[in-house]
Amino acid sequence: MGAILFGTCSWKYPSWLDLVYSQSDPDSYLAEYAQQFEMVEIDQWFWSLGRQSAGLPKHETVVRYAGATGDTFKFTIKCHYCPVITP
């Protein structure tokens, strides 16, 4: 049987300070977010699609995200227009 996971679209919201985050350092946001939620949608690469600077995420970025979360934490990627705008 499948599981229903709860999370949000992105985690980079300074307005969540004292609601989700205890520290004002944006570098700690994902780690603190992952203590309260089971998954998150990464939308930052979606918004760069179609621009000349668009590309896959850097390896260092993926490693950093994985290191800030636990082994069971899940990431989803927003890409519902990808087949339309990629060759």
pLDDT tens-digit map of 11-67: 999 999 999 999 889 999 999 999 999 999 987 766 665 555 556 678 898 899 999
Task: Provide the pLDDT for residue 83.
Answer: 55
Which pTM value belongs to this model?
0.77
Number of H helices, E strands in the chain: 3, 3
- Residue 70: band (very low, low, confident or very high) from pLDDT cuts 50, 70, 90: very high
What's the confidence (pLDDT) of residue 61? Answer: 87
Reading the block at residue 11, the tokens are 């985690």
Check residue 84 and give its pLDDT. Answer: 55
Structure tokens at 48: 């760069």
End-to-end CA distance of the chain: 36
